[in-house]
Amino acid sequence: MTNTDSYMRKLVVTNPLGEPTYRLVIHTLRLPQGSRGLDAGCGIGYQALLLAEAVGPAGHVTGIDRSPEFLAKAGEIVNKAGMAEQVFFQEADVNNLPFEDNTFDWVWSANCVGYEPLPQIKELARVVKPGGSVIILAWSSQQLLPGHPLLEARLNATSSGFAPFVEGMRPELHFSRMPGWFRKAGLEQTSAQTFAGSVHAPLSDEIRNAMMALLEMRWVDVQAELSHKDWIQFQRLCLPDSPDFILNNPDYYAFFTYSLFRGRVTR
């Protein structure tokens, strides 16, 4: 299995964790029925499918990604859902969109745009009609190791834990500063909102598998940045073969948050 295949498998397995929150976010947006939108950085297409459902049968969603493997998987998912007439995918880069100015009623980007953001936001806004929205969403926090806040804090302070932000990057480039970048890009009526998802025991097989994949994805190659004691505890709590695996706790509870930023194109 290639790295891309492995990552796509994890995206499929973890989708049940995020989908309820994505549905809530999209419902809150009140996208106009029959509108045409762009999913920038669509990955394997799950959110494009939800967006198409939200705008109704007269609406349309175009999904773009740089990965042909992701796009092929996205096509399979949308075809299986019977939504191929409403959703179209093509290979493209969010930094150089192959669309004319004022093409879409809105643009959505989840877990893609947000670091070194100003050129990307301007490019997204370029293809949105006046009065339309640029909408950016990303995973922003989590508590996955209940009862072990010190270990989780240390894991979140590793390079993997705060990626794609990197050490030495200017604070104003962090994702949470998005409202300021929206204003610099000329967007108005900017807003920010946080949405939370959660899981608790007893875990269904689907959610347990999703959480196992999430733990595997969340903190990668962290051994060199942890003390020996913390590394031993990490292995004890986060490896499925351990008798103390955190998901085996009969009182297990975890939550995670997504941050939503929206700005209006007014040119």
In SS3 terms, 41-107 reads as CCCCCHHHHHHHHHHCCCCEEEEEECCHHHHHHHHHHHHHCCCCCCEEEEECECCECCCCCCCEEEE
pLDDT of residue 2: 67
User: 4-8, 90-94, 104-108 — which is least confidently predicted?
Assistant: 4-8
| Domain range list for the chain | 3-264
Sorting pLDDT into bands at 50, 70 and 90, what band is 30? very high
What integer is the mean pLDDT of 186-203? Answer: 97
In the chain, the percentage of residues whose pLDDT exceeds 90 is: 87
167: left (phi over 0), alpha (psi -120 to 50) or beta: beta
pLDDT of residue 1: 56
pLDDT of residue 114: 58
pTM, entire model: 0.94
What integer is the mean pLDDT of 6-34? Answer: 96
For residue 115, give Cα distances in angstroms to 34, 84, 121, 141, 245.
31, 32, 10, 16, 34
pLDDT of residue 200: 97
CATH (one of 3.40.50.300, 3.40.190.10, 3.30.1360.170, 3.40.50.150) for 3-264: 3.40.50.150
